Amino acid sequence: MSLAAVMLSKALRYAGLLPAQDITDFDAFHIAGRMVWRGDIAQAYHLPALLEVQQALTGDQAFLPWTYPPPFNLVVAALAPLPIGLAYLLFVGATLATYLLVLRRIAGPHFATVVVALAPVLFVAVAGGQNGFLMGTLIGLTGLGLLSGGARAGLPLGLMVIKPHLAIGLAVGALVLRRWRCLALAAATAGFALGLSTLVLGPAIWPAFFGGVDEAKAFLAAGAYPLFRMISVYAWLRSLDLPAALALAAQAATAVAVLGLIPLALRRGMPRRQVVGLAALASLFVSPYAYDYDLPLYGVALALLLPDLLGRASRGEEVALLVLGWMVGGYGLVAGGLHEALVGTEAASSVEISLAAPPFLLLLALVWRILRRGRAAAGLDAAGTRVVPVGPIAA
C-alpha cells in the first residue's frame, strides 16, 4: 500500500494536481522517448543539446546525461505517446508487478522475508521511476532459466543489452556452468536488439552513443554525478577525494575479485542455486556507475540464496544481513533527503560522501562466509532434513 501511495502521488504531480517536482529519472525516459519520435534522439547523448530539449519540453533542466545503449531507446519510445503520469504508472506498475511475481517464484515461502529485506530498495526504485524492476525481472528470469538447465535463460540474458554491465555476473555464471546454448541464444537476442535499434534509429545513433559514453566517463572522473546515490567502490573512494585513477583501479580489482567467486563457488562444489545467486549479486560490484536503483538485482540474489543462508546463519548473522542490506539500499535515500534540505549550506558536503559500498562489501563477505559452512553448520539432522532456525529474518 505504501508503494502504491508513492506511485499515485508521483502520478498526480505529473498531472499537475499536486505541487510540481524536480526532473527525475522517469522524466529523462519520457523526454528521450519523445526525442525518438521527433527524430533527434542522437542529440540526447550530448548533454548541452539534451539540456536545451529538457528546457523546451519541461521548462526545467537537470543533470541527467543519457548514456543508455540504443536498444533502450526503443523501450522509452513506447512510453512517449502517453501522458507522462500515465506512462509512469504503466511502466513502474507493470515492471514492479512482474518483478515481484518473478521474485515470488524464486523465493517461494521466503518471499515475504525478501520483500522486507528489500523495503528501502523498492521505495527508491518507485520514487525515481527508474528501470531497476525491469532489470531485476530479466535477471530473475535468467536465474530461473539457469537453474532449469535449458537454453531459455539466454533470452532475458540477451535482452540485458539495454543495461549490459548488470548482466556480467550471470554471463560468467552461464559460462562456468557451460550453458552454451543459453549463451548462444543470449548472443543472438542481443544481436537482434542491436540490429533492430540500428534499423529504426539509423546508423548515426552509434557515434552519438559512443560520444555520450565518453562524456559520461569525463563526468564520472570529475565527480559530477551524485556519488552518494552510488553503491560502487569507485564512488566511495572518489567521494573521499581520492584520485579518479586510483578509485577506478580499486573498482577494477573489486570487480575481478568478486567475479572470481563464481568459478570458485563451483570448484568448491556449491549447489547450482548458490552459484547462480552469487553470480546475480556479483553483477552489482562490476561497474563504477552502479546506483541504488539497480539493487532489485540484490533481491534476486537474496531470493536464490536465502534458504541456504537461513539454514546456516546464526540469529546475529541474520540480523546483520538485514541491517547491512537496509544500509546499502537506504543510504542514498536518506543522504538525498538530507542533501536537499542542506543544499546551499556548508553542511551539505557532509552528506555527499558515498557510504553504501563498505556495508555492501561486508554483506558479500558475510554471505560467502555463511555459504561456505558445511552440513553440520547448515542445520541438517542425521536424515539430511534442514532445520531452519527461527530468527528475525526468518519470520
Question: Is 378's pLDDT higher than 60?
Answer: no
> What is the predicted pLDDT for the residue at 385?
41
Residue 388 pLDDT: 45
Terminal Cα distance for the chain, rounded: 21
Q: What angle do CA 221, 224, 228 make, to 5 degrees?
A: 100
pLDDT 10s digits, 321-330: 999 999 999 9
Which of 14-23, 184-193, 376-385 shows the lowest per-residue confidence on average (mean pLDDT)? 376-385
Predicted confidence (pLDDT) per residue in 99-122, tens digit: 999 999 999 999 999 999 999 999
**SS3 annotation, 205-245:** HHHHHHHHHHHHHHHHHCCCCCHHHECCHHHHHHHCCCCHH
Enter the C-alpha cell of residue 161: 543489452
Mapped onto helix, strand or coil, the DSSP state of residue 24 is coil
Instruction: Give the confidence band of 346 by pLDDT, cuts at 50, 70, 90.
Output: low
DSSP 8-state assignment for residue 376: G
Q: Are 45 and 67 in contact (CB under 8 A)?
A: yes
Q: Report whether pLDDT(367) > 90.
A: yes
Answer whether residue 384 shows pLDDT above 70: no
Tell me: the pLDDT tens digits for 198-214? 999 999 999 999 999 99
**φ/ψ bin of 69: left (φ > 0), alpha (ψ from -120 to 50), beta (otherwise):** beta
